[in-house]
Amino acid sequence: MASEDALTRFIRSAEAAGVDVRPVRYPAGTRTAVDAAVAIGCEVAQIVKSLVCTGPTGPVLALTAGHNRIDLQRLSDVVGGKVRMATAEEARDATGYSIGGTPPFGHVEAIPTFIDPDLLAHTTVYGAAGTPDSCFPITPDQLLVVTGATAEAFTST
């Protein structure tokens, strides 16, 4: 799957969801939260990490602030059963995107989504736009609406 195709697919899915996204490409890449924050010129805490996990009933998406780490035990408690990080193949199958470029929405299937409350403290946050070298700005309120996410404490610093 070519990067252009993934970016275009994400833009189309965002438009279909009624969200106007304006992705920016960063040639040096935005694969990690720190890389993304440096490229964008924002705080690491404003980066949305879209982490795909596998739970008792299938995939779970944990939208995590860039400066936090997912706590799988806490997420398991939230979900109500054991959760583990998805493999690269499981994440791609669930979302249609590769790890490092997984956007917070626009996936091939609806995925139960949880959002780190720390992301809600900002006026703008930045998520991956389908490729490891693209990001887009969005307000936390828009992100909550388009993802249907539930705010839950599932991280550690």
Query: What domains does the chain contain, in order, with CATH numbers?
Result: 3-156 (3.90.960.10)
Please determine, for residue 157, whether its predicted confidence score (pLDDT) is greater than 80: no
CB atoms within 10 A of CB 31: 16
Name the phi and psi angles at 23, rounded to 5. Answer: -65, 150
Specify the pLDDT at position 20.
Answer: 92
Looking at residue 13, its amino acid is S
Quickly state the pLDDT bin for 4 (edges 50, 70, 90).
Answer: low
Residue 23 to residues 45, 75, 77, 89, 111, Cα–Cα distance (Å) = 19, 29, 34, 25, 22
Q: Say what the pTM is.
A: 0.94
Q: Which residues pair with 48 in a beta bridge?
A: 65, 127
Euclidean distance between CA atoms 90 and 27, whole angstroms: 27
CB within 8 Å of 32: residues ≥ 6 apart:
none
> What is the per-residue burial (b if ≥16 Cβ within 10 Å, else e) of 32-63?
ebebbbebbebebbbbbbbbbbbbeeebbbbb
Q: For residue range 31-83, what is the model confidence (pLDDT) as tens digits?
A: 789 989 999 999 999 999 999 999 999 999 999 999 999 999 999 999 999 99
**75, 124, 135, 68: which is closest to 100 by C-alpha?**
135
